Chain A
């Protein structure tokens, strides 16, 4: 090999060798760069998470349950102004200022507890206060009832046992009875007075079995209960039993429920049986709720109630509804009908503001259980403005 050839080959080899070295080190640098970028991204994520937590807690103490996996605290404030233009009198009042504190605790994966404690400052039914439905009046009561307080054991989705003070599981509105979710400040007539027993007790104390069976796109649910009858000491000796079976689709487009109870009503000293059906339909922005009940009473006259409530959710913030509501509350109280027109405005998910107009009509009825003195029919126009603020 000639000298000049060697001179050419050696630098070429050197160049090749160096370029390979550089290429390898470039690859390593690229890999390191990628790893560094990934680490920076992870640190950013961690900083964001820490920032979120710090923003929520800062240097405040963190509340924790004495024991258990989880403790949630919430509640709502519900306020209402009502104006009633009755047959002989017109009255207006800020008649309802209620606060409810909700506590939910997860004791283990299977055991949960839930409490709703009420701090209620409200008037009785204005058509009952004076004892004359033609002369509506307001009063003020302060009460602090334990509205709900139960412990639930979930064996699985099909089998749950609940014990304590429960919502009597009938229909739609009684189960969803919290004002924060209701379109109207007044529940249908058969659910008044709050905590009463016009057709069935709104709340009861005892034991409940409930569960759900998922079949494809449908959900079959059941609830059965055995509880004390509501009322004073004597009523608590009486056991009432009942239940509801419902079928609905998972998307929530429809639900239908069948209701039954074998109960005791202290006000009329009446053993009674109740049967009922409830139906809810949803199609796009339209919704419809309806419930029908009838009772077979030993004394005081059989009772019947139903309502139908079409709703139009005009947007996520605005809803309009109408409710036709009929109640036959037995021989003494007689029949009454309400036509309710309402609008709801939700400025955000925690606030519900309502305006309703109700045309109320009383028919029949007697002053007392001797059925000797008839009550005069009466009409009333009612305007209510209410707001519920939940957290």
Chain B
């Protein structure tokens, strides 16, 4: 009987650990933001993710409607950057470095500018119709900016 109780306790503790881990890893901590005047929309988050990836890798350079896309990256020493790499770009930093090395040498393209301050990122997106950036979900978004995707 005692062993069954022990087993139940262990099982409950394990479930709690798994639950807390999953919420910390997969919770929506970051948001992709665009200018409120950007009319872009998509049916699925998956498609948004694909297109955001294309914008940040500079494979795609125009929003539907012809607005020039201007991606601003999170600073490479931030947790936002790590989350963005694994959950949106689906690559590690070494693969991303090779991508930009190839782009630089083939086409002269350079990575999106990294901006450390989230407040500044929000301002840049509010100012430019084609801008797209990643900020924390805790950031206050003005009416001139809208959320596209959380991850």
Contact = CB atoms under 8 A, between A and B. Distances in A.
Interface of A: 42, 45-46, 48-49, 52, 72, 74, 76, 102-105, 109, 112-114, 116, 154, 156-157, 167, 175-176, 178, 180-181, 212, 214, 216-217, 219, 250-251, 316-317, 346, 349, 390
A176 B116 contact: no
8 contacts: A49-B117, A49-B120, A102-B108, A116-B105, A180-B101, A181-B101, A219-B59, A250-B54
Interface stretch (B19-27, B28-36, B90-98, B141-149): B90-98
A176 B109 contact: no
Contacts of B51: 214
Interface residues of B, number: 30
B60 A157 contact: yes
Contacts of B60: 157, 212, 214
Nearest to A100: B105
A49 B116 contact: yes
A253 B42 CA distance: 23
Contacts, number: 77
Interface of B: 47, 50-51, 53-54, 59-62, 66, 68, 90, 92, 94-95, 97-98, 101-102, 104-110, 116-117, 119-120
Contacts of A74: 104-105
Given A42-B119, A109-B68, A217-B50, A157 B108 contact: no
Point out which of B106, B107, B117 has the most chain A C-beta atoms below 10 A from its C-beta: B106
Given A45-B117, A316-B92, A349-B98, A114 B61 contact: no
Nearest to A72: B110
A22 B51 CA distance: 55
Contacts of B109: 104
Contacts of B47: 216
Given A72-B110, A104-B108, A104-B110, A250 B50 contact: yes
Which secondary structure characterizes the binding site on chain B?
A: helix
A357 B84 CA distance: 39
Contacts of B92: 316
Contact of B101 (A46, A113, A317, A349): A349
Given A42-B119, A175-B106, 4 more contacts: A45-B120, A102-B104, A102-B105, A116-B105
Nearest to B94: A316
Nearest to B47: A216
Contacts of B117: 45-46, 49
A222 to B, nearest CB: 15
A212 B102 contact: no
A80 to B, nearest CB: 18
Given A250-B50, A251-B90, A349-B94, A48 B61 contact: no
Contacts of A52: 116
B54 A214 contact: yes
B94 A178 contact: no
A181 B119 CA distance: 36
A307 to B, nearest CB: 19
Given A42-B119, A48-B116, A112 B59 contact: no
Contact of A176 (B59, B66, B102): B102
B105 A180 contact: yes
A366 to B, nearest CB: 38
Which 6 residue pairs are nearest across A and B when measured between Cβ atoms?
A104-B108, A316-B94, A349-B97, A178-B105, A114-B108, A45-B117
A74 B108 CA distance: 9
A127 B94 CA distance: 37
A46 B119 CA distance: 11
Contacts of B106: 167, 175-176, 178
A42 B47 CA distance: 35
Nearest to A106: B108
A258 B150 CA distance: 38
Nearest to A346: B94
Contacts of B95: 316
B110 to A, nearest CB: 6
Contact of B53 (A48, A154, A250): A250
A93 B5 CA distance: 75
B116 to A, nearest CB: 6
Contact of A250 (B59, B105, B108): B59
Contacts of A109: 68
B119 A72 contact: no
B55 to A, nearest CB: 11
Contacts of A102: 104-105, 108
A162 B90 CA distance: 31
A42 B102 CA distance: 37
A152 to B, nearest CB: 8
Contacts of A214: 51, 54, 60
